[in-house]
Chain A
Amino acid sequence: MWKKVFDWLDERLGLNDLYKNLLDRPEPKGTWWNTLGSASLFLFVLQGVTGIFLTVYYTPSPDHAYDSIQYIMQGVAFGWLIRGIHHWGASLLVILVFVHMLRVFVTASYKYPREMTWLVGIGLLLTTIGMGFTGYLLPWNQRAYWATTVGTQIAGSVPLIGGFILKALRGGPDLSALTLQRFFAAHIWMIPAALAGLIGVHLYLIIKHGESHFPAKED
């Protein structure tokens, strides 16, 4: 019965081909270091899911942001768990992405024909850090407030256009409701959209070229 249903679907969706090409593709002999990309992908999905659930209760307004998070932590069943995963997952994701980059660098996997995979990966590193930077403000506590004050000031130290960058980031000269709102928009819509697109390209390139061999002595 199930075999029939599956065959019917497979004939129309090409499930077996998908499986063979995506999950059952030949790989060079690797080590645990080769799993960092998959681990990053898993964490990205986990961050996406927990983040979506956090928006059920979180409010990006100076009046309610802090209180709504207190409510998530103490008032909602398992709110501490959802936020805890999102909080620790964020730090772990930045570390994983960075170590993943180091591994690619050390094993020289960025070389021909994988230069574009590397460049897209740089984009992924930057957008991941962007997620960390924008997400850090959202709890709207003292640490978040001052970290963003300093962070945006650093961006504002760029010669000539620094003042403009600072105002564009903050939505005005000071940290305000506008800053919180635009960081929220960036954190849940703009950067995730960019991240998802870049991940798509990154994965396509990995499947197209396959994973690189570790360099041998004579390389």
Chain B
Amino acid sequence: MSEPINRREFIKGVTAVVGGLITTVIGIPTIAYLIDPALKESSKEDWIPVGKLEQLPIGKPVPFSFTRVQVNGWERTATSHGGFVLRKSESPSDLLILNSRCTHLGCTVNWSENDQVYLCPCHDAKFDPQGKVLDGPPPRLLDRFTDFRVTEDGILEIFYKEA
């Protein structure tokens, strides 16, 4: 034993150690608490079932719609999406799936059987069955769902990814 520690130094030491311990035990969870939302992965992509492939007619666009729910903390926001599936032939991979959101300002386009075009009700835009712009203000062709698959049960699913 060199210098025996005196009472004063002992108390100081114990206070420092206990204080440091409390600060650490509270401090680390607090940092995790604050940055927690930044660490969470929100799934912005998913496989969406559209319908039974065999029930879809060939050569005629069929509308479909689905809803995505975004959860932020205690708040849930639902957004509707839709599109058209066009079976070009018997082959299960010969599909054209368009997003029905007009590329101009986001209105929903409708299929006109008489004119064989997609019509946007907002500014009278027209798209051909391939989604190309025929008339009106849209800057580009309709978006496509290029990733799709048919499950074992014969259900057509599209891969949705938030832009």
Contact = CB atoms under 8 A, between A and B. Distances in A.
B73 A75 contact: yes
B34 interface: yes
A152 B118 CA distance: 62
Chain B interface, DSSP helix/strand/loop, else mixed: helix
Contacts of A81: 29, 33
A71 B74 CA distance: 6
Interface residues of B, number: 12
Given A76-B36, A77-B36, A71 B30 contact: no
A53 interface: yes
B9 to A, nearest CB: 13
Contacts of B26: 49, 85
Interface in B122-140: none
Chain A interface, DSSP helix/strand/loop, else mixed: helix
Contacts, number: 39
B32 interface: yes
B74 A77 contact: no
Contact of B32 (A56, A67, A70, A78): A78
Given A76-B36, A77-B36, A82 B74 contact: no
A78 B75 CA distance: 20
Interface in A61-77: 64, 67-68, 70-71, 75-77
A164 B17 CA distance: 53
Interface in B104-156: none
A59 B39 CA distance: 21
Q: Range of interface residues on chain A?
A: 10 to 19
A77 B38 CA distance: 11
A44 B26 CA distance: 15
A57 B75 CA distance: 12
B24 to A, nearest CB: 13
A162 interface: no
Interface of A: 49, 53, 56-57, 59, 64, 67-68, 70-71, 75-79, 81-82, 85
21 contacts: A49-B26, A53-B33, A53-B34, A57-B73, A59-B74, A64-B75, A71-B73, A75-B74, A76-B33, A76-B36, A76-B37, A77-B33, A77-B36, A77-B39, A78-B30, A78-B36, A79-B36, A81-B29, A82-B30, A82-B33, A85-B26
Interface of B: 26, 29-30, 32-34, 36-37, 39, 73-75
